[in-house]
Every structure is written in structure tokens, then in C-alpha cells.
Chain A
Amino acid sequence: MTFRHSLKTALRGLKTNKSRSALTILGIVIGITAIILIMSMGQGAQDLILGQIQGLGSKTIVVIPGREPRGPSDAAQIFSDSLKERDIEALTRTENVPTLKQLMPIIFGGQTASYLGETYRLTIFGASEFISEMFDLFPEEGLFFGENEIRGRANVVVIGSKVKEELFGTDEALGKVIKIKDRSFRVIGILPKKGQVSFFNFDEAAIVPYTTAQQYVFGIKYFHRFIIEADTEKDIPDTVRDIELTLRDTHGITDPSKDDFFVETQADLANRLGVITSVLTLFLVSVAAISLLVGGIGIMNIMFVSVTERTREIGLRKAIGATNHDILMQFLLEAILLTAIGGVIGILLGAMFAFTAAIILTNVVGLNWTFTFPIYAALLGLGISTLIGLTFGLYPARQAARKDPIEALRYE
């Protein structure tokens, strides 16, 4: 029997049992739908995160206090107060890090702000005016603070749009004085509505000079981050090396494994977050794979029922000249066709759900989410479903092929 006729015969077999076929593939459909949905969403999440990282600028290097976390047991940050004022002096000296273009120390934390009885919980950033360039934050009213305010520890603040709304409503805010941690700050600038920028929501934040934040808001003598910009993207490896050498020197460290800081480039960050989303996606996909296993067992079950029910048909086909191979192919192809059809339906459903999710995430949640449908996920889905048909259809098909024609013809 030619393959084409085997295929036709198998299709005809499925058609005569339409509703049973449909129920049988339900498990496969659900499993493949879940896999496609998860893979598409995983890719979307990864794209979103990478987009946010790229928002930081490709020449950006971040110095973080503490030891670089290397595993789950290493999560506790030690030496978290290691970045000090003298490090800024050392790093900004041209002979130490010649390719350094900008250095901005940052400290941040949650605080409560109030104005005339209205209070609001916000995030305080202690930074320099460079933050406005870096995150594209330009006040729509007023100005940003400058070097004089930093040097003078001025009590000035630039507030986000949500902060303005919560504290002032529609009233004029510029020039007013708000209280942060019992200290008065004059509002000198108001930021436009930005939404999420590179993991931060500046709408719900207030920015003050880092010197002011250190002394009056948080009462600490160290920094949470140094954000450094290199001259060009090509200079990044050299800059990272120079930063490490300089900091080890000022911290008196000779053994690099005992570093009390670590340097992260945008590429490092992208890699790390990429690994996290990939692991998460893989985990979810393997959970979905369990439903495929269950679906496969369902296929096997139904194929056994089908083989038993069609014993006489098998006997007849053998009597009129079907070889064992012909019978094997007929039932195996039925199983493969079932699962492959289930796979195709699952791929379409999964893509549809992922698309719906993308619309919801963009329009309702407000994320900058793009719908992605990875072709490899579709191929994988089709491959897996076909493989399931082959695996779980083989045993029942072999049993069909081995039937004795006389016994089969006598079967009631």
C-alpha cells in the first residue's frame, strides 16, 4: 500500500469517529496551547526587559556595593556600605579612569512626603543633575538643580507627576514647600508623566541632590550606586577594568575574590535577566509538558479501544491482502494525524491567547509589551505533538498488526 493511500485510509478512519477523535485530541490541544502561550509570553517578557535595559544607554556602567551574588546562599549583601565619597574623588581623577565621562552617585529609599495635611509615600532619589540626561527627565515646569545645590546641600526637590497630583491636586506646586522626614524642601521642578522607565517609575518619585539625601533624608555616609558613563561604547571593557583597579586600590584590596563591590555593564544585566526569564519559561513549559504526557496516555487508551472495536475490520483487511506493515501504518498514522491536528489547533489557540494577553498588557496594564510569536515554538509544538502520536500510537498499532486474521474475523 502506498503511503498516500495509508494516509487516506487513516483519515477516513478518523472521520468515521469524529466526536471521539475531537475528544481524544483535547488533551494535546490544551498542552500545546499552554506551551505556545508560555513561550510567546516568555519571549515578550524578555523583549520588554531588554528594552528597559537599553533605555539605560549602552555606555552605562553601574558600580554596586557588596560582593557579587554568585548563588542563592550568597544573596545577603555584605559590605553594602563600601561606596564612599573618597571613591568618587579617586574615580574622577583622569589618571585613574581616563575614559570616564560622567559619574553620578545615587542613593534611594522610600519616604513619606506631606503638604498641608496631604501625605504620600514616594521614592526619594539622591542624585546629581546627570540623572535628567540619563533617564530623559526634563521638568515641564521649573528647573533641575545643579552643582551649586549639590555642593550646598540645598533643600530643593524635583517631583514626579503622580507626586504632584497626590499632594497638590490641581493647585500650583512650583515654589511651594513640602515636608520630607520633617524637613522642608522647596519644589523647584515638576516632571512630566513618564510611566515606567528602565525599571523605575519616576512619576512616583522625588529627586533631591545626593548630598542632601545623604545628610538630611537617610542619614548615611555611603552610596547605593555609582552610575558611570564611558566616553564610547568601545571603551567599556577598559573603563570597567580601570574602575575595578581604582576601587581595589582605595579599598586596600589585593585579592579580587575579596572585592566589596561589583561592576555591572548593560550587557551583564541583559544576560542575567535573560537567564532568569529563560529559566522561568523553561520551568513553565515543563509543567505544561505534563499535560502533554497525560494527553498522550489518553491517545494510547483510545487507540486501544479503537483497535479492539475494529478487530473484524483488521481481520478483513488482512484476509484481502493487507500485510502487517499496512495495518501498523494505518493505525500509527491515525494516532499521528490525531496528535498533529491537535498540535496545529493548539498552536493557533496559543498564538491567539498570547495576542490577547499582549493587547491587555499594553492597553490595560500600560506596559510597552509587543506580541511575539516565536517560529521555533510553533515548530516545537508541531514536532512534540507528532512525536506523541508516534510514541503512544506505536504500541496499539503493533497490537493491531499482530492480530491473527481468523481470530479477528470471528470476533463478535
Chain B
Amino acid sequence: MPLLEVRNLEKNYKDGDTETPALRGVSFTIESGEFLAIMGPSGSGKSTLLHILGLLDKQSSGEYLFDKKGWDDYEEDEISHIRNKKMGFVFQAFNLLPRTTVFENVELPLLYSDVPESSWKKRTLDAIEAVGLSHRAYYESSQLSGGERQRVAIARALVRDPQIIFADEPTGNLDSKSGGVIMKILRELNESQNHTIVLITHETYTAEHTKRIIRLMDGKMVSDEPVQKRRSINDHNLK
């Protein structure tokens, strides 16, 4: 049973009288434990697709089932709870709260959860440790480098132990070295802890860290294939 099922998905944006199609019939499934990249140039519809997969937006037509249920099966607040409990988000611009410590940023999703408060501290510190930032736990986010900030964002996505992590251009604002570290962390989360991760990127070398690549062009899927050459030279340098 796939974790996530997309059938003939379409999305149109209305701007006054003109309708702009962003997705024109996309179909695929994602199993639990996959590590997948959605690639495409800007305007290909990859961000739109990720927003629909993350239940941040609703498709115009077609079907999207997450954990066997679609948008219409939920109340509005339930969708918030699903995002909180079962999904983690990592953004290109990190989106950490300003003048706030690493700990507080990572703890944030727990504030909106029903997780008992007694376990918050341990969960938060565990998530920070998982991205290797324990020594920075009480630093303010403004004192961190870009790569470290994105690791904080990953820890924030991990803190509720979600079924799937969506990453929107996670390395887009980073230099290649920091980007490599982020990709290594994501891959480790996938390989050793079996987290399902879907990321979007327009960089081939970022996408090649994953195990499967879906390519989009003008709102249509042009390819869906596993990554052949898993171990790159670049990767060895990082180890």
C-alpha cells in the first residue's frame, strides 16, 4: 500500500479571467521509506506539486491520497493536525523565527501538538542531536551559518517523528559544501532511520543524492526513474 498516491493531478491558477495551468495531469505513487527528488526548471510546476503533497494547497482536479485519505476527507483543522503530526517541512529560506534560540525553533511544532509536555525537552534535544547541532542548542538562530540554520530547520521537521518530510529546494540558499552536508544528513535520515523524504530541486547534483527522480516540464511528468549512479566522488569527499 503506497503512503502517497497521486492520480491525474491538475492545478490551475486563476488570475482574474485568465487561467494558468501549473499541473496538467500528473500521476505517481510514493512508498514508505523512499527518498525521492522532483526536478524541473522554474515554472515546471514542482513547487505547486509539493504544496499539494504537503496539504498546503488543494488540487483543481484529479486525486491525491495521503495515507489513504484526500483533502475532502478532512476538516480544515484536521489538515493542520495532519501537517503537524505526519509531515515535516524544510524550506529554501529556512524560515526560522528571529531572535529565538535553536531549541525554541525546534520545539515549535510540539507547541501545536498533543504530545505531552513532559517529553518535549527530550524530543527537541534528540532532534537537534540528529542533525549534529547539540553544541549550538541555545544559540540564537542569527548566530548560525546558513548550513547550520538549515540543519535547525531539518531538526524542526524531525521533532514530531513524521511519516514524511517535504523539502523545498533545501540547498538552494547554500554553497555547495553546506548543501552537501544537508544532503548527507537527509540521506542518513532515510537510510538509517527509514524516513520518507521528498525534495524538490533544480540542481542535478543535489537530486543525485536521492534514490528516485521525477522530472517535470510545463506541468507534465517527463520521466520517473531510479538514480543509477548512487555514489558520486563528491560524496566520498564528505565522508
Residues of A that sit less than 8 Å from B by CB: 1, 5, 9, 12, 16, 312-313, 315-326, 405-406, 409
> Given A321-B85, A321-B109, A321-B113: A16 and B80 within 8 A (CB)?
no
Give A313 to B81 CA distance when docked, in angstroms.
18
Mark B52-65 against chain A: 1 for CB-CB distance below 8 A, else 0.
00101100000000
Query: What residues of chain B lie closer than 8 Å to A315, measured between beta carbons?
Result: 95
> B123 near A: Cβ within 8 Å?
no
- B98, B100, B156: the one contacting A320 at CB < 8 Å is B156
Q: Indicate if the CB atoms of B80 and A321 lie closer than 8 Å.
A: yes
Give A405 to B99 CA distance when docked, in angstroms.
22
Minimum CB distance partner of B159 in chain A: A320
Give A313 to B94 CA distance when docked, in angstroms.
11
Q: Indicate if the CB atoms of A319 and B111 lie closer than 8 Å.
A: no
Give A12 to B107 CA distance when docked, in angstroms.
14
Query: What residues of chain A lie closer than 8 Å to B93, measured between beta carbons?
Result: 312
Give A313 to B91 CA distance when docked, in angstroms.
12
Give A312 to B97 CA distance when docked, in angstroms.
9
Query: What residues of chain A lie closer than 8 Å to B24, measured between beta carbons?
Result: none
Q: Indicate if the CB atoms of B57 and A320 lie closer than 8 Å.
A: no
Q: Indicate if the CB atoms of B95 and A322 lie closer than 8 Å.
A: no
> B26 near A: Cβ within 8 Å?
no
A and B contact pairs by CB, cutoff 8 A, 20 listed:
A1-B112, A312-B95, A317-B112, A318-B80, A319-B56, A319-B89, A320-B89, A320-B108, A320-B156, A321-B81, A321-B109, A321-B112, A322-B80, A323-B81, A323-B112, A324-B77, A326-B80, A405-B56, A406-B51, A406-B56
Query: What residues of chain B lie closer than 8 Å to A323, measured between beta carbons?
Result: 76-77, 80-81, 112
Q: How many Å from the CB of A160 to the closest CB on chain B?
A: 70
Query: What residues of chain B lie closer than 8 Å to A405, measured between beta carbons?
Result: 56
Give A313 to B77 CA distance when docked, in angstroms.
19
Query: What residues of chain A lie closer than 8 Å to B184, measured between beta carbons?
Result: none
Give A111 to B93 CA distance when docked, in angstroms.
89
- B83, B85, B100: the one contacting A319 at CB < 8 Å is B83
> Given A312-B95, A321-B84: A326 and B51 within 8 A (CB)?
no
Query: What residues of chain A lie closer than 8 Å to B77, measured between beta carbons?
Result: 323-325
Q: How many Å from the CB of A208 to the closest CB on chain B?
A: 81
Minimum CB distance partner of B111 in chain A: A5
Q: How many Å from the CB of B88 to the closest CB on chain A?
A: 8
